[in-house]
Amino acid sequence: MQIDDYQVTAAVRSGRLVLDELHTMYFEESGDPLGRPVVYLHGGPGAGMEPSLRRLHDPQAYRLVMFDQRGCGKSTPVGELRNNTTQHLVDDIERLREHLGIDRWIVSGGSWGSTLALAYAQAHPRRCEALVLRGIWLGSIPEMQWFEGGLRYFYPDVWEQTVGHLRADQSADWFESLNDRILDADPAVSGPAAVLKSRYEWLSCSANPSAEDLAAIDAELTPEYCIPYQRIGAHYRRHHFFLAPNQLLDGVPAIRHIQGFIVNGRLDVVCPPVTAFELKKAWPEAQLELVPQAGHFSTEPGIQSALLRVMESLK
């Protein structure tokens, strides 16, 4: 099966689910309503659904569920930080499963979505048939230190565009100051800061971006998109992603009986493969594939092919 064999199908159902007195979730379903259920968890924190990933799921075999996490995309209120923690999101996934009348499902997620998938599975292992994880992020301090200082070794041009000639040992304070601006209530302050932070992330995600990719990034990263995205990201960063130290690796024994698939770009510098390797060591039953010549984006051909093979094997 090739990636072009499945098209990006339209949603067959969409809806809104009231979560509490403040938040309402937007969700969509595609594929066969009687197919094997899959829920996909998007990245961020603060991004939104990725409709392009529908093409990795045979629409005649899968019932694919996607949703925008609290404060993201079409969920309301957009950019809201109150009642917005990892535990809230874990509870939201379970509430959505119950709302849709699904007993057990495959849980899939990329980047921050892999973090959330692990947190959900460890809280509700009996509801998970399999985990499909891409671009592993565990929310640890070393991962954040790398993101805020180590990327300059591979993307010195992006680093200089973002922080100028700042030394790596000064970067943590600089990013903290940037997050202050992102969280400012004045869009004239938060907008430029949010776009700058988003551009730093996105330009570091692709192992070999084309001129068209770069143009698309600049076109998409508007203040209107970046402010809520980065507000939520800064909120989670400041609270250490609402995770205890080493929580997700320590929790692996609760999910070792679940089928696990780990896909990571060999050249992913945003979520370096060492983290995927650490997860594999804690979870030896899981299958790990390090994709050569691939970075972080789920749209990279090697990543898409690896994920498609996993989903074909689970049909």
Q: Is the pLDDT assigned to residue 8 strictly greater than 90? A: no
Backbone angles phi, psi at 163, to 5 degrees: -120, 10
Confidence of residue 146 (pLDDT cuts 50, 70, 90): very high
**Cα distance between residue 224 and residue 231, in whole Å:** 12
Tokens of 184: 């400012």
Peptide bond into 125 cis (omega under 30): no
The pairing of strands 259-265 and 287-291 is parallel
pLDDT at 165 over 90: no
What are the pLDDT digits (tens) for 223-262?
A: 999 999 999 999 999 999 999 999 999 999 999 999 999 9
pLDDT tens digits for range 18-59: 999 999 999 999 999 999 999 999 999 999 998 889 989 999
Active site residue 190: no
Angle at 6 between CA 36 and CA 109, to 5 degrees: 55
- pLDDT of 85 above 90: yes
Tell me: pLDDT of 213 over 80. Answer: no
CA–CA gap between residue 186 and residue 153 (Å, rounded):
33
How many Cα atoms within 13 Å fall on the side-chain side of residue 67?
28
Could you give phi then psi for residue 32, rounded to 5 degrees? -85, 120
Q: What are the tokens at 96?
A: 């959505």
What pLDDT does 103 receive?
Answer: 98
Judge whether residue 272 has pLDDT over 70: yes
pLDDT attached to residue 208: 73
27 contacts: CB under 8 Å, gap ≥ 6: 14, 15, 16, 17, 65, 66, 67, 68, 96
Band of pLDDT at residue 5, cut at 50, 70 and 90: low
Average pLDDT value for residue range 74-84: 98
What is the chain's length?
315
Q: What structural domains does the chain harbor?
A: 3-139+243-313 (3.40.50.1820), 141-241 (no CATH)
Of 111, 171, 204, 298, the catalytic one is 111
Annotated catalytic, 108?
no
Q: What is the pLDDT of residue 206?
A: 77
**What average pLDDT does range 48-73 have in this prediction?**
94
Please tell me the predicted confidence (pLDDT) of residue 172. Answer: 84
* Active-site pick, 58, 68, 92, 268: 268
Q: Please tell me the predicted confidence (pLDDT) of residue 280.
A: 98
219 pLDDT band (50/70/90 cuts)? confident
The pLDDT of 184-212, averaged and rounded, is 89
> Shortest CA distance to 263 belongs to which of 302, 218, 209?
302
Residue 4 pLDDT = 60
User: Which of 57, 204, 296, 298 is labelled catalytic?
Assistant: 296
Residue of 66, 58, 179, 59 whose CA lies nearest to 113: 66
Q: Which residues contact 268 (CB under 8 A, 6 or more apart)?
A: 135, 207, 294, 295, 296
268 is catalytic: yes
Report pLDDT for 3.
Answer: 56
> Confidence class of residue 217 from pLDDT cuts 50, 70 and 90?
confident
